[in-house]
Amino acid sequence: MINILIVEDEKNISDLIKINLTDAGYRCMCAFDGGQAAELIEQNSYDLILLDIMLPMINGYELLEYIKPRDIPVIFITAKASVEERVRGLKLGADDYLGKPFEIIELLARVESVLRRNKKNDRYLEIADISIDTLSRIVTKGEDTITLTLKEYELLLLFVRSKNIALFREQIYEKIWGDDYMGDSRTVDLHVQRLRKKIGWEDKIIAVYKVGYRFVVNQ
């Protein structure tokens, strides 16, 4: 599932965006100031960031400088919609620019376009010896189809989209199960063990001491 971070300090706008993107099949998280956004970006993996400019603590332009080295596409969504502001945002590295007020249908179209340009929305994923059809949720290895439970499939996508990044157990639990992590690692460990065995990635999904797991793949 595509993960999107919404950085918007006006809660009603943030809620509106989140509801519509969630209905469209995206997984969303929200930050209400630049400092909170920086923390979330440090802790999580995102496919796209929707970024307001006028933010408390750290503004959108400053936050974009923090995002750029992470190769995450950014759409500015802001009331600062003058030509000069658009040019500044695009020159700094934003992928698109949407002025407020906006129509939800236009937002969805721009999100799809940016994801497509950055190849974040591809139907087929191929990595190592595994192929994933994200529309039909079919996972194959060579000519063999691998049967995974829903949680195992979501776990596989999480590792594939976070390659070479150490994921904390609490991050994995919260992303896959959608609940606050209660400190019991057995659920995460059991599902990781089953996934590794089913797809033969015992040497690729490795345990990271006192952290969690990392999917190791050569770039």
- What is the mean pLDDT of the segment spanning 132-139? 86
User: Is residue 33 over pLDDT 70?
Assistant: yes
The confidence score (pLDDT) of residue 30 equals 97
The pTM of the full predicted model, rounded to 2 decimals, is: 0.57
Cβ–Cβ < 8 Å for 164, 95:
no
Confidence band of 10 (pLDDT split at 50, 70, 90): very high
The per-residue pLDDT of the chain, averaged, comes to 87
> Distance between CA 55 and CA 59 in Å, rounded?
5
Q: Where are the alpha helices (DSSP H) in the chain?
A: 11-23, 34-43, 60-67, 83-92, 104-117, 150-160, 169-177, 186-199
- Residue 146: per-residue pLDDT: 95
Give the separation between CA 111 and CA 217, rounded to whole angstroms: 28
State residue 63's pLDDT score.
Answer: 92
**pLDDT for position 81:** 64
Strand partners, 76: 51, 97
Lowest mean pLDDT among 124-133, 139-148, 194-203: 124-133
Q: Which residue has the higher pLDDT, 156 or 164?
A: 156
